[in-house]
Amino acid sequence: MKRHLPIFIVFLSGVFLLFQYFVPHETSEFIYEYLLDWAPIIGVFAMSLGIISLARVSWTRVRKRGDNWQYSIVTLAGLASVLIAGFWPGAGGQRAPVVLWEFNNLIIPLSSTMFAILAFFIASATYRAFRARSLLATLLLLSAVIVMLRFFPLGPFTSPVGDAANWILNVPNLAAKRAILIGVGLGIVATAMKVVLGIERSYLGRD
């Protein structure tokens, strides 16, 4: 019963949302809006579980002196300071000085560092992808060069290069993008059907 009840609830919810989309009656729309109101509540509980899991994993690593356990201390300290500053009466919530200081002096520099490191990975991947070892790789290289050159003034070649770049973006690139979106849509539908019919049960945890 503990495993069949969630599957039954998921099945009813999926079937109702499917029929509600094609039969937009006032009653079904009211129930749909009512169910949407529960989404933030479920999100809060999911976030709470994530916070508890992060705290448990970090504390276990600190207690057992695991790999890089010092970073877990920093994680716990940051988590505790933000939670205390956010929930302490009169502290200011999201505008609390502690929260703003950590955001401006920790989150933003760390994000900038991650993006700076990511640039080197992008350059390396670009070099590996654009090596003209085959006809398709050569076409990819030429297309990338044309698209990048459209941002530079090339004198009398500016207009032809711009037209060629626009054709690449609006014809082959757009066709490939639509094909990918169609594939993603079919994958979403297939996954949703597997979840609704109870074939995919990974959300229930281990068997």
Token pair for 33: 């809006």
Q: In 3-state terms, what secondary structure has residue 199?
A: coil
Domain locations along the chain: 1-66
| Beta carbons of 83 and 94 less than 8 angstroms apart | no
Check residue 10 and give its pLDDT.
82
Q: Which residue has the higher pLDDT, 18 or 207?
A: 18
Q: How far apart are CA 127 and CA 96, in angstroms?
A: 45
Q: How far apart are CA 178 and CA 123, in angstroms?
A: 26
Q: Would the pTM count as exceeding 0.85?
A: no
Q: Which residues of 11-34 are buried (b: 16+ CB within 10 A; e: fewer)?
A: eeeeeeeeebeeeeeeebeeeeee
Check residue 130 and give its pLDDT.
66
Q: How far is CA 102 from CA 77, 97, 106, in A?
A: 11, 9, 5
Q: Which amino acid is at 130?
A: F
Q: How high does pLDDT run on average in the chain?
A: 82
Question: Residue 131's closest CA among 121, 140, 119, 120?
Answer: 140
Interaxial angle between packed helices 158-170 and 135-149, expressed in degrees from 0 to 180 and rounded to the nearest 10:
120
